[in-house]
Amino acid sequence: MSKTKKIVLAALFLAIGLLLPFVTGQIPTIGKMLSPMHIPVILAGFILGPAYGAAIGFICPLLRAVLFGMPALFPDAVGMAFELLTYGFVSGSVFRALKKKKGNRLLRIYITLIITLLAGRIVWGIVRYIIALLFNLEFPFKAFLSGAFLFAWPGIIVHLILIPVILEALYGSKLVKEE
């Protein structure tokens, strides 16, 4: 893929990441549960690679917080920046590493996606814990479990259904190529 095409697609994924939360944002609880900003970041990692995915993931929540006031810049967008950076980096890295195995693409997508979602949520928890320590805020383990898994399960299911469908459609249509 040419560098120009990658930059254009990166801008597209960033724009989608900024705008997609408006679809669910009218009801903040649903928006937090479905995590719409995660979808274009994870897709960017798969399609553009770990560097672009990480950059888009880090920038997206911070820029959205500055432009639209949602999520709150601190501590939410800061924690999300590292979480989404991880999503973009891990999805790009693991998918490329698994490509060397020459297996079923859909299986590689699901394995990558599960590893990505776990890694991002763990990083989010670590960053939120560090923020809590530095600024004398509370962040008990129960809050981590609740925020990362119990309250987020609808979004996890949406990601596990929607992202493979989108990727298979893009790869199958030859709009993007596996790198």
Give the integer Cα–Cα distance in Å for 29 and 161.
Answer: 21
Q: Is there a domain that residue 152 lies in?
A: yes
CATH number, domain containing residue 72? 1.10.1760.20
CB contact burial 42-64 (16+ within 10 A = b; e otherwise): bbbbbbbbbebbbbbbbbbbbbb
CB contact burial 136-152 (16+ within 10 A = b; e otherwise): eeebeeeebeebbeeeb
pLDDT in tens, 87-136: 999 999 999 999 887 779 999 999 999 999 999 999 999 999 999 999 99
The percent of residues above 90 in pLDDT, for the chain, comes to 75
Give the integer Cα–Cα distance in Å for 118 and 139.
Answer: 19
pLDDT at 29 over 80: no
Q: Is there a domain that residue 178 lies in?
A: no
Q: Is there a domain that residue 166 lies in?
A: yes
Q: Is there a domain that residue 45 lies in?
A: yes
Q: Is there a domain that residue 179 lies in?
A: no
Q: Give the chain's domain count.
A: 1
pTM: 0.94
Q: Is there a domain that residue 63 lies in?
A: yes
Residue 66: domain span: 3-173
Q: Is there a domain that residue 133 lies in?
A: yes
Alpha helices in 20-174 (DSSP H): 21-24, 28-34, 38-48, 50-68, 78-99, 105-134, 141-145, 153-173
Q: Is there a domain that residue 104 lies in?
A: yes
